[in-house]
Amino acid sequence: MSNDWDEHRDAFADRQETFDAYVDVWTRDLDGKRKFADWITFAKCADADLSMVRKAPDLVRQAELLLSRNGYRLGAGAGGSSRRWQHTKGAVRTTSERPVNDPAASRRTTRATTASRPKAPPKPKKPAPPPKAPPRPTHVECPRDPGMMVPLSGSCFCGWSPSGDD
């Protein structure tokens, strides 16, 4: 049984390393098979085929991401359908080695990192505002008529005045 890509090998005759990159990522990375209908769609997206760029730009970005995280980068002369993907030097992680997105683990890591950081010194407290002066009286009690409050600018019924004019 032949693979999807065998019949397309000749189309990549001048870009053999790119063809090998597409086959490598397709066979090794499970996300490729999960996100793309078949190898041909994956290869068109990775090549940034104009029809795929217009129809499914998100798939083009996914293909680029898959190739990048599997150790490939765009080489010289890249652009449009003449993209050349080259393997970078260094270890390549397979799908099973990649970290799984676990929000709870991320929170634990964030909390642990936050807890291990030295705490900033507490901010100095603002000084208390000065006490307010007691309100000025507006009335006084009449000495002739206890309990009768007289305005400072007025007079009592008995004739007494706070200004002392009696």
pLDDT at 1 over 50: no
Name the pLDDT band for 100 (thresholds 50, 70, 90): very low
Reply yes or no on whether the pLDDT at 42 is more than 90.
yes
| 13-17, 68-72, 103-107, range with the lowest pLDDT | 103-107
Percent of the chain with pLDDT over 90: 14
* pLDDT for residue 113 is more than 80: no
| Closest to 67 in 3D by CA, of 57, 55, 75 | 75
Structure confidence at residue 109 as a pLDDT band (50, 70, 90): low
Q: What is the pLDDT of residues 49-85, one digit of tens each?
A: 888 889 999 999 999 999 999 999 887 665 555 788 8
Per domain, the residue ranges of the chain are 6-87
Residue 92 reports pLDDT greater than 60: no
